[in-house]
Amino acid sequence: MIVNSVRFNPNNISFKPNSNKVLAFKGTDNPLEIQDQYISSESRNNTVTILGSSKDADFIKDAITMTSLISNELVKRGYSILTGCGDKGIMGAAYKGALFAEKDKENPEKNLAILTKPLWGDEDTQHCKVISKPAVSESDRIENGFLKASNNFLIMPGGPCSIQEASTLIAKNKYRAKDTPPLNIFLVGKDYYKGLIQQYDDMDKKAGLLGTKPENLFTVIEPEEVLEKFPTLK
């Protein structure tokens, strides 16, 4: 697969908050007050949440590069990218890749974010659209933010929070309501996530605790395969 390279200098982006870009909608089943347009079925299907390391590390530098290319290309294909808008690692690559595909970088429409409170300190809310009020924890952001605004999840290499995010999403897929379509969850990096994959395989084959095949809950792919899963939107 050939992907056009994305050339940009991440150091050219300033990092300062812009509270005027927070959009809110009050609802009983919407504790983070995500605006209606971002929790519609169409928007959820066309939004890709990218999760992974918030730190730079040599071990995942190739994944960081691929994440920026993937994010950039997905926006060009019509998708919105949802992240926590951090500056470093996978998160920074996803955010900046999406930003540089925006037609108007000062008024982004596809580079979406959900924050936590207190802030981590590396967020750039100036060049994204914050679609909710801040979550009070990472669990709150997953449960009441990402899961309400997106049906597509790319879980790239990361640390403990990435494992938490993966397991929470997979559990939600397992125990979703019968009339609810499955989430599209992709663990990106077969070697990186082999331990987690083995754990779910053991739940199924050895313990009989999963109740379904792991492949019914998530898909394991390499970074080079991601764009094959997301055709251009019409």
Instruction: Check whether 27 has a pLDDT greater than 70.
Output: no
What pTM does this model have? 0.86
**Which class is 15-229 in CATH?**
alpha beta
In sequence order, the 6+-apart residues with CB closer than 8 A to the CB of 177 are: none
Helix H or strand E segment including 71? helix 61-76
pLDDT higher at 33 or 59: 33
Q: Where are the domains of the chain?
A: 15-229
Instruction: Name the percent of the chain in helix, strand, coil, to the closest 5.
Output: 40, 15, 45
Tens-place pLDDT, residues 73-86: 999 999 999 998 88
Which tokens in the block code for residue 141? 């952001």
* 185 DSSP β-pair partners: 153
Give me 199's structure tokens. Answer: 């754990």
Phi, psi angle pair for 89, to nearest 5° = 60, -150
Q: For 41, which DSSP code?
A: H
User: What confidence tier does 28 reach under pLDDT thresholds 50, 70, 90?
Assistant: low
Q: How far apart are CA 53 and CA 76, in angstroms?
A: 24
Helix (H) or strand (E) holding 202, with range, is: helix 194-205
- Counting Cα atoms < 13 Å in the Cβ hemisphere of 74 gives 33
Query: Per-residue pLDDT tens for 162-194?
Result: 898 999 999 999 999 888 899 999 999 999 999
Phi, psi of 48 (to 5 degrees): -115, 115
Residue 116 makes CB contacts below 8 A (sequence gap 6+) with 84, 134, 135, 136, 137, 138, 140, 141
pLDDT (average), residues 95-111 = 92
Upstream peptide bond of 118 is cis (omega within 30 degrees of 0): yes
Stronger pLDDT, 151 or 15, i.e. the higher one: 151
